[in-house]
Structure 1
Amino acid sequence: MTLTPQLDQLVTACHWIGTRGWAPATGGNMSIRQDAEYCLLSASGKDKGALTRDDFMQVEIAGNRVPSGRKPSAETGLHTLIYRLFPDAGAVLHTHTVNSTVLSRIAKGATVELQGYEMQKTLAGQTSHLDQVSIALFDNDQDIDALARRIDQYAEHQPLSYGFLLRGHGLTCWGRDVSEARRHLEGLEFLFQCELQRRLLEAK
């Protein structure tokens, strides 16, 4: 991977996310894989719609160590977990949107099942609206290390594809590069909005 174009694409994606209000009040965090050992992760407490290249710091994938000593995002351990679980993952996007947050609150099971939507084909490997897409849903936890362990244990027995939801928190998704991660984010957000409205209408 040529790092400079990917980092520039990530900064552009962050600005795009910011204009949509998908990471309000400095929420959310984004990263790209630098190499087998490190990723570059957004700094904590920054407006994601105004990030620059200098707002990303190097983080050790194996142990979450930050060589520069700067303060990383609170969810650093979730990004590094994804890079460990999926060697082909090249970018991770974590957002706090209304649709993903509300849907994660009203969904009762361990997954959100999506089926019958043409836009499922925005997700890598999906070729038909007839397929069923399962998005894992985990209870939120302020102890990120404990949360990462639960997600890791889940992934040992169940497929974990495209992204996962944290209840009352938001979506974390990934892709082989920034472009694919961004497509997955936009596709999943559309699907979540459709599914949320479908459930609300059926409940009336």
Structure 2
Amino acid sequence: METLFLQWINDPTGAAYELFNRSIFYILVAIAGSVATYFWAQIKFKTRNAWHRIKNTNISYDGEAYNGLILSLGSSNELQKMIIDQVKPEFVGIITGNSEAVKFSANNLKDYSTHLKIQCDEPHLYGELDIERIEKGFDDIIEWMIGKGIEKKNIVIDLTGGKTPFSLAAFNSAKRNGVNAVYTDSEYELGKPKAGTQKSISLSKALDD
């Protein structure tokens, strides 16, 4: 390189000049490549860590562990899947309407639970204005879970999904049976719940305070 530099000084317009310039160019490209590789590795590392934190952010149920989870459900079940993933119950019960869209959603959620080795009762389907029957459906699932050996304190109804009559029926059943009722709030992005943004409030405890 030193010889090439001296030749370039003596003959700045000759072949040595061109060869020296090419050498400098390749060195600069190599340096730029190394710098780019370093920053790309940093970006991937930070992104991977950020995703790990987001994915593993727990839905808070006041730190309680629940073996029985009862879900009211609408036509989308993405949030309910997140709730199941975080609560990790042994038993799941599902109550929803009787339209084709919500039936599909309920059966899909049942299959999802079964795949996770969670015992899931057959979805309970009701007309959305039949509040008495809906309440009875929640009562029946609570009774089913108690029959499986779960104490009432370890049963929770998440009434987030579905239409208002289902939420009202869920709360009434929870209050009457002495189990916790929870609402889970979430931010959404492109119509889907954004992972790591879920926050839950115990309605039963909030109203008792």
Fold shared by both chains (TM-score > 0.5):
no
More helix by share: 2
- State the structure with more CA Rg: 2
Q: TM-score of the superposition, structure 2-length normalised?
A: 0.28
Q: TM-score of the superposition, structure 1-length normalised?
A: 0.29
